[in-house]
C-alpha cells in the first residue's frame, strides 16, 4: 500500500489525473470519518467506484469531490471487476468539480429513501423565493410529514433523481425540514382489552416527539405497526409513562402479526 495523503493536502482531481497519466491498475481508497470510498482502476481508466451502499458508479465519484476530509491510499492490484463507471476521466473530473459538493450535501440531507420531510417555518431571509416547475409541484403536494422519499417517488411518478434534487433544493433553501415519524420499538404482549378498546400502549415521550410533526400537533390516535416479517396492522394507541422502547400490544394482535415478545418492529403514527 502506498499512502498518497489527505484531502486537505492533495486535490482529488490531480490524483485522478495522475492515475490516468500513469496508466495505473489497482484500488484507490479514500477513508473519511464516516464513509469509505473505493475506486478501481484498469490501465488508468476508472472502471468502478463505490462508497459502501451510499453511492455507486459515477455518483460515488461525484460525491467524493464534496468530501472535506479523508485519507488516500493506493494498492496496485489486478482483479476482475464489473464496471459501473463509463465516462472518461476528464468528464468525471469536470462534473465532479461542478456538481460534487452539491451531491455530497444532498447525500447528507437525504441519506436514504426512508427520510421524511414536512414544511419548515421558512427561510430567515424574507427575500428568499423559489420557482416551482410542474414536477416540483407534484412532489411538493405529497410532502406531509408522514410519506417518506420512496413513497413520494412512487406517488408523484417523478424520476427518483429529480425527486431527490427537488427535495434537497427546497430543504436547502429552508422551505422543508426533516422529521422522523418512524420509530424502532420492542414488542411486548399487554394481556388483553382495556377500557373496552383494543389499544397499543407506548411511552409518552413518543407522543411528545410526534407532536412536533405538523399534522400530529394535536395528538396521535392510531399507529401502524410493521414487523420484521413484513406484516402490518393499524391500531389505536394510548400513551403511558416509563415504557421506554416497549410497544405493548394485546396478545391477540401480536399473534395476528406472527410476532413474539422481544421482537423489533417499526412504528409510525397514522392520520
Strand partners, 72: 5, 30
CA distance linking residue 73 with residue 6, whole number of Å: 9
Neighbours of 191 (CB within 10 A): 10
Would you state the pLDDT for residue 128?
74
What is each CA distance from 182 to 28, 158, 263, in whole angstroms? 37, 24, 16
* Sequence ranges of the chain with CATH classification 1.10.10.10: 116-179
CATH code linked to domain 116-179: 1.10.10.10
Q: List the helix and strand counts (H, then E) for the chain.
A: 8, 14
The predicted structure's pLDDT at residue 8:
87
- Does domain 183-270 fall into CATH 1.20.1250.20? no
CATH 2.40.40.20 residue spans of the chain: 183-270
199 beta partners: 236
Q: What is the pLDDT of residue 1?
A: 58
pLDDT in the model for residue 167: 96
Closest by alpha carbon to 58, among 9, 96, 23? 96
What's the confidence (pLDDT) of residue 198?
76
Q: Are 77 and 26 in contact, with CB atoms under 8 Å apart?
A: yes
pLDDT along the chain (271 residues), means of 10: 82 94 94 92 95 86 93 90 93 94 91 93 78 92 95 96 94 93 92 59 94 92 93 93 92 89 94 76
Q: pTM for this structure?
A: 0.76
CB 25 within 8 A of CB 87: no
Structure confidence at residue 193 (pLDDT)? 45
Amino acid at each position: 500500500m502506498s499512502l498518497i495523503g489527505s484531502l486537505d493536502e492533495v486535490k482529488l482531481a490531480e490524483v485522478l489525473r495522475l492515475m490516468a497519466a500513469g496508466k495505473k491498475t489497482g484500488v484507490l481508497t479514500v477513508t473519511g470519518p464516516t464513509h469509505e470510498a473505493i475506486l478501481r482502476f484498469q490501465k488508468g481508466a476508472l472502471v468502478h467506484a463505490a462508497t459502501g451502499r451510499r453511492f455507486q458508479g459515477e455518483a460515488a465519484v461525484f460525491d467524493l469531490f464534496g468530501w472535506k476530509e479523508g485519507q488516500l491510499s493506493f494498492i496496485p492490484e489486478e482483479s476482475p471487476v464489473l464496471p459501473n463507471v463509463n465516462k472518461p476521466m476528464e468528464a468525471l473530473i469536470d462534473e465532479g468539480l461542478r456538481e460534487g459538493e452539491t451531491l455530497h450535501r444532498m447525500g447528507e440531507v437525504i441519506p436514504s429513501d426512508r427520510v421524511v420531510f414536512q414544511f419548515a417555518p421558512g427561510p430567515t431571509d424574507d427575500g428568499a423565493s423559489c420557482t416551482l416547475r410542474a414536477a416540483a409541484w407534484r412532489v411538493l403536494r405529497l410532502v406531509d410529514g408522514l410519506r417518506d422519499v420512496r413513497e413520494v417517488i412512487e406517488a408523484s411518478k417523478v424520476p427518483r433523481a429529480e425527486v431527490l434534487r427537488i427535495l434537497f433544493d427546497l430543504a436547502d433553501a429552508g422551505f422543508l425540514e426533516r422529521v422522523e415519524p418512524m420509530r424502532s420499538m420492542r414488542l411486548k404482549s399487554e394481556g388483553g382489552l382495556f377500557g373496552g378498546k383494543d389499544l397499543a400502549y407506548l411511552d409518552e415521550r413518543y407522543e411528545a416527539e410526534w407532536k412536533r410533526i405538523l399534522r400530529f400537533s394535536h395528538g396521535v390516535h392510531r399507529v401502524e405497526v410493521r414487523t420484521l416479517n413484513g406484516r402490518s396492522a393499524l391500531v389505536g394507541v394510548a400513551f403511558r409513562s416509563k415504557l421506554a422502547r416497549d410497544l405493548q400490544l394485546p396478545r391477540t394482535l401480536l399473534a395476528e402479526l406472527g410476532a413474539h415478545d422481544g421482537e423489533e418492529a417499526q412504528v409510525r403514527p397514522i392520520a
